[in-house]
Structure 1
Amino acid sequence: MKTFSSLNREGKFNNIVTAEYDLLIVGGGITGAGIALDAVSRGLRVALVEKNDFASGTSSRSTKLIHGGLRYLKQGQIKLVKETGKERKIVYKNARHLVYPRSMLIPVFRKRGYRKFWLRLALTVYDYFAGVSRDEKKRMLSKNDVLERMPVADKSHVLAGALYYEYKVNDARLTIEVIKTAAELGCSILNYVEVLNFSYTTNGKVSGALVEDRISGEKGKIYASFVVNATGQWVDLIRIMDYSDAHKMLFITKGIHLTVSKEFFTLQEAVYFPTKDSRMIFAIPHKSVIYIGTTDTPYQENLDEVSAKKEDVEYLLNAVNEVFDINLQEYQVQSTWAGVRPLLYKRGKKPSEMPRKDEIVESRSGLINIAGGKLTGYRKMAEKLVDLLMHKSSGEFVKCKTKNIVLSGADFDIKQGSIALTEYADHKFDEVKQTGIGVEYFKALFYRYGSNINIVSNKAFDYYNEDKDSAYAWIKAEVWYCIHYEMLHKLADFYFIRTDQAIFDKNQIAKNIEVVASCMASFLGWLEQEKERQIVELKNKIR
């Protein structure tokens, strides 16, 4: 596996601003990452720049689900259900360490949410058109079945329920693995590089961009035959830089999630339940917490500083308290995360009516903008866009290959299926347990890095053999791996993007923050002042 390192950044920046490319992608979320992988796998010379860290926008702030498209049935979007079901299978096949099926309970209440007949019909249609496998098809539940699975506030309101399957995913890690796979195939990629403005030919066609390395302050121009704006929530801001076309493309809404300890909310089954204002909310057990979400409110504030407000948190807590036999309070909230949905703007539509589909719009200058869409459909979005580029270029049309490209970390020489993967993880643990690592800690690393755990393990053995300190050896090995193979630059990015400790395991940060910061300082050459600045930045971000 090639390194994808934070080191020698000056050389990497000089290389990217002195070469010429077929395609420059602006934006390192899942959409830009997917386009980069598709394009480079078809033989195009591709560069991608991201002004912050990869996946630092919406791509790390979702509900952490690869949806199968159940919600689209209400709008009669059968074609979209079929496509979403197919894409979910592809993501599962190509990123097995990050994606796994999870049963979801939908309760049927007397006066809100789905009616029993409609739910049975909808899930039957969904199973058929989404191509759901036999062992994951819907299962209708009696009232007693539902009451055994969820602590309901008013049992008399429960009529029945159903189980269906969604697929859990670490959204940020999925983006990182797509980025790494594209880099492995030859894509030139840098985070913390911001586009300042575009370059144009004499006839007004976009030909590249002036960029700035936000770490070193260096500037340079990247030249490309095509430029794609895949910046998600920032699409309209990037389009304003392009003189040729700046009408509004997006309608932005905000969604927040919160976590509470299982100590306060005992729930064994993930539940998808209705609210009194006719919305649907998830409550999902994960590690030591239950996470709850999401809201959906119009957002017109700073896109770089999206946060959960008091009223957002109160809305989710009230929704849970109305349905479940609990009384959650704000002080019990362990963490929150907030992101925005870059929906396609349609005049006269309500926020809930704004389409969730993706759209490609070409400006008069030739700047290609892509917006909308969902995490599940990232690969198909990329395919459509690169097909467009192929038709526009003078070269031979090359078909999309990403359906069969296994992502970084998912290169397991074992049969398909989560059971086989569990056995593989057990085997890998047996190989390293002599270092003293605990089984739960190792499993967390395994499902974070997948088959690349071998690289982490080998480095951990090296460090362990130096001083026999197991905890230090594994933390140092993980940080070393993220710097050398995942272009990690900042302490906060380790906790928010490379791992999910900042939202699901905040207590762990207090235990290892000094060790992680010291390791990063050693590898990246930080002075003590910079190390302390990084720690303060992380703590401010967590609050």
Structure 2
Amino acid sequence: MKRDIAALADREFDLVVVGAGVYGAATAWDASLRGLSVALIDKGDFGSGTSFNNLKTIHGGLRYLQHADFTRMRESVRERRNLMRIAPHLVHPLPFLVPTYRGSLLKSRTAMRAALFVNDLVSWDRNKLVDRQKHLPAGKALTRAACLEMAPGIERDGLTGGVLWYDAQMHNSDRLTLSFVLSAAREGAVVANYVEATELIRDGSQVKGVRARDVLSEDDGLELRGRLVVNATGPWVDGLSPAPRKLFHFSKAMNLVTRPIVGDVAIGVTSRRPHRDADAVVSASGRFLCLVPWRDVTLVGTSHAPFDGRPDELEATEDDIQDLIEDVNEAYPDAKLARGDVRLVHRGLLPRAPGSLNGVGITLQKTYRLDDHREDGIEGLLTIVGVKYTTARDVAEKAVDRALALLQKAPSASRSSETALVGGDIESFDDFVAGAMGDAPTDVMRHLVYTYGSTYKEILKGDRERIVPGSPVLAAEVRHAVREEMASDLASVVLRRTELGTAGHPGRAVLEACADVIQSELGWSAGRKQQELESLETFYQRRS
């Protein structure tokens, strides 16, 4: 995958997709699979906005029982299965435990057992996958003793037991987002990061494309022509929309990466901070929090708060971080989290329901939005507002269905739920892992298979020197990121191409080693290398 700016301007595309987070990337891939000509651009790096900030879970929608929303449950169940099918190296089963207590209707043993029963009915086809490693067992109730054995740190007062079910987790969410981009490029899409769409090209009411700026060369004269522009810029959609109405009302979401505080099972607990969801049929009194094991850390979240600034101004405040730490310690006493235990702060903007501020929380927008702007008197523009990572591919499929209709093209069936993403050509993941062992040291091979899947041998064509002693990440991965994955800066490599810095600051030696490799590939000056190091250090200071 090469960055070719000239190729963006040398023809008219069927679709110009603006925004290469997971929604834009999945849309570009689905459209390319159906034979449409596609350009995909992002003002930053691929997946560096909201898609970078998530809890790494691919959930089947059990929590939607609270809203009696079986449609969204079915969508989530299908997409959890689809992602395990098309990216088997990146999406894996995750056991999830919630304790039950006396004196609470929603957290009672009876209510939770009923929820599991309904969940198993709604997800009856969850295991229609060839790969048995991806099969999810039925949920089950746990005794008090079994619950404490699996989660010894939970609140014991009034504890009656717990329930256990299975969802899924992304081993590396940034690689999954990138895999959609790589797969779109494989199918012929022209993709480029660091190209900022500055305004729509219009001929009266008809949108003809976008004017854009190459951020790297600072060239403001780019024009991308397209029969349809897809605005998939997430919290930035209103900046590119001609609509007088606001399409994205901001909610600040935050997750923390901390030292390990749970074992191999994710745990759901309820904070004591008052919270009310106006859309819920049965509402809990507090915010539901997840404590999720991920690699060698724990992810905790998610907190939500209103935000009335500009998307580029978003930061997590110390009060935000301390509030979430306090909530976790109250809900899970054994955590004993301190501020120094926070290794990385993930924050992003999600859409909330208009007018949903209620004094004890906010109500998030529950469903995606596809807006073709015909009510605004505009043609040639389709805006996507997504609500969660899990269903991005499904929304992309629906967006391309709408695009075909707007382009007056014959309908064609989507293939993106069945077609493996780059690296996903694996029939049985356990057998694939076993067969790969021996090509390199065990820790290196496990890392490569879980990161690159069926394409891991491309990495092994290079030298097999570790980036630093003891790390499973190879220097060849950094070179591959620069040569084949359009990485042009240190942050892109450390945060989104490799797993080096996704769980917190990896250490100065790692940053220096990566910068040395990139410097040799791109011919950086000593000054540019130092600038890149300082920029990434600043990122970690602000986010940890």
Q: Same fold (TM over 0.5)?
A: yes
* Deviations 1:304-323, CA, capped at 9 Å, x for gaps: 24333222222222222223
Structure 2: how far apart are the matches of 1:270 and 1:385? 33
Distance 1:178 1:216, change over 3 A: same
Whether 1:33 aligns to 2:20 is: no
1:452 to 431, 440, 455: 455
* Deviations 1:77-136, CA, capped at 9 Å, x for gaps: 112111210111011100001000010110113355522211111111111112344752
2:60 to 57, 65, 68: 68
Whether 1:120 aligns to 2:120 is: no
2:370 to 345, 350, 360: 360
Deviation at 1:458, TM superposition (A): 1.1
Deviation at 1:396, TM superposition (A): 2.5
Deviation at 1:237, TM superposition (A): 1.8
Question: Is contact 1:307–1:337 with CA below 8 Å preserved after alignment?
Answer: no
Distance 1:500 1:348, change over 3 A: same
Distance 1:505 1:473, change over 3 A: closer
Deviates more, 1:527-536 or 1:393-402: 393-402
Structure 1: how far apart are the matches of 2:391 and 2:151? 31
Whether 1:187 aligns to 2:170 is: no
The match for 2:501 is 502
Question: Is contact 1:460–1:473 with CA below 8 Å preserved after alignment?
Answer: no
Structure 2: how far apart are the matches of 1:196 and 1:326? 46
Question: Is contact 1:193–1:214 with CA below 8 Å preserved after alignment?
Answer: yes
2:322 to 314, 336, 341: 314
Question: Is contact 2:256–2:342 with CA below 8 Å preserved after alignment?
Answer: yes
Deviation at 1:266, TM superposition (A): 5.1
User: What is the one-letter code of the residue matched to 1:394?
Assistant: Q
The match for 2:437 is 429
* Deviations 1:393-421, CA, capped at 9 Å, x for gaps: 23322221112110011112x33xxxxx2
User: What is the one-letter code of the residue matched to 1:356?
Assistant: K
Distance 1:306 1:445, change over 3 A: farther
User: What is the one-letter code of the residue matched to 2:488?
Assistant: H
Deviates more, 1:96-105 or 1:135-144: 135-144
Question: Is contact 1:195–1:212 with CA below 8 Å preserved after alignment?
Answer: yes
Deviation at 1:391, TM superposition (A): 1.5
Structure 2: how far apart are the matches of 1:442 and 1:511? 22
Structure 2: how far apart are the matches of 1:317 and 1:271? 16
Structure 2: how far apart are the matches of 1:409 and 1:504? 23
The match for 1:375 is 389
The match for 2:348 is 339
Structure 1: how far apart are the matches of 2:357 and 2:297? 37
Structure 2: how far apart are the matches of 1:486 and 1:142? 49
The match for 2:38 is 46
Deviates more, 1:149-158 or 1:215-224: 149-158
DSSP-derived class of the 1:325 partner: helix
The match for 1:157 is 158
Structure 2: how far apart are the matches of 1:18 and 1:454? 34
2:5 to 6, 13, 19: 13
Count matched residues: 511
Gaps of 5+ in 1: 416-420, 434-438
User: What is the one-letter code of the residue matched to 1:411?
Assistant: D
1:300 to 302, 308, 311: 308
DSSP-derived class of the 1:300 partner: coil
DSSP-derived class of the 2:244 partner: coil
DSSP-derived class of the 2:334 partner: coil
DSSP-derived class of the 2:462 partner: helix
The match for 1:171 is 173
Structure 2: how far apart are the matches of 1:495 and 1:515? 11
1:93 to 85, 92, 98: 85
DSSP-derived class of the 1:93 partner: helix
User: What is the one-letter code of the residue matched to 1:336?
Assistant: V
Structure 2: how far apart are the matches of 1:300 and 1:238? 18
The match for 2:509 is 511
Deviates more, 1:221-230 or 1:103-112: 103-112
Deviates more, 1:36-45 or 1:392-401: 392-401
Q: Which has the higher helix share?
A: 1
Deviates more, 1:92-101 or 1:474-483: 474-483
User: What is the one-letter code of the residue matched to 2:378?
Assistant: S
DSSP-derived class of the 1:317 partner: helix
Question: Is contact 1:472–1:515 with CA below 8 Å preserved after alignment?
Answer: no
Deviation at 1:193, TM superposition (A): 0.1
User: What is the one-letter code of the residue matched to 1:406?
Assistant: A
Deviates more, 1:382-391 or 1:495-504: 495-504
Structure 2: how far apart are the matches of 1:496 and 1:144? 40
The match for 2:283 is none
The match for 2:334 is 325
Question: Is contact 2:16–2:38 with CA below 8 Å preserved after alignment?
Answer: yes
Structure 1: how far apart are the matches of 2:504 and 2:472? 20
DSSP-derived class of the 1:376 partner: coil
The match for 2:131 is none
Distance 1:524 1:76, change over 3 A: same
Question: Is contact 2:447–2:472 with CA below 8 Å preserved after alignment?
Answer: no
Question: Is contact 2:444–2:473 with CA below 8 Å preserved after alignment?
Answer: no
Whether 1:482 aligns to 2:492 is: no
The match for 1:418 is none
User: What is the one-letter code of the residue matched to 2:322?
Assistant: E
Distance 1:127 1:512, change over 3 A: same
Question: Is contact 1:84–1:130 with CA below 8 Å preserved after alignment?
Answer: no
Deviation at 1:474, TM superposition (A): 6.1
Distance 1:111 1:493, change over 3 A: farther
User: What is the one-letter code of the residue matched to 1:447?
Assistant: Y
Deviation at 1:272, TM superposition (A): 0.9
* Deviations 1:465-515, CA, capped at 9 Å, x for gaps: xxx998899632111111122111110111221134334152x34232111
CA RMSD after TM alignment: 2.2
DSSP-derived class of the 1:137 partner: coil
DSSP-derived class of the 2:92 partner: strand
Give % identity.
27
Question: Is contact 2:94–2:265 with CA below 8 Å preserved after alignment?
Answer: no
* Deviations 1:185-217, CA, capped at 9 Å, x for gaps: 00010000001111112x321101111110011
Distance 1:326 1:32, change over 3 A: closer
Structure 1: how far apart are the matches of 2:254 and 2:23? 21
Structure 2: how far apart are the matches of 1:18 and 1:340? 35
Deviation at 1:341, TM superposition (A): 1.0
Deviates more, 1:532-541 or 1:248-257: 248-257
User: What is the one-letter code of the residue matched to 1:200?
Assistant: R
User: What is the one-letter code of the residue matched to 2:250?
Assistant: I
Deviation at 1:440, TM superposition (A): 2.4
Question: Is contact 1:151–1:324 with CA below 8 Å preserved after alignment?
Answer: no
The match for 1:226 is 228
The match for 1:22 is 14
Deviation at 1:184, TM superposition (A): 0.2
Question: Is contact 2:139–2:166 with CA below 8 Å preserved after alignment?
Answer: yes
Structure 2: how far apart are the matches of 1:474 and 1:126? 39
DSSP-derived class of the 1:155 partner: coil
User: What is the one-letter code of the residue matched to 2:500?
Assistant: Q
DSSP-derived class of the 1:488 partner: coil
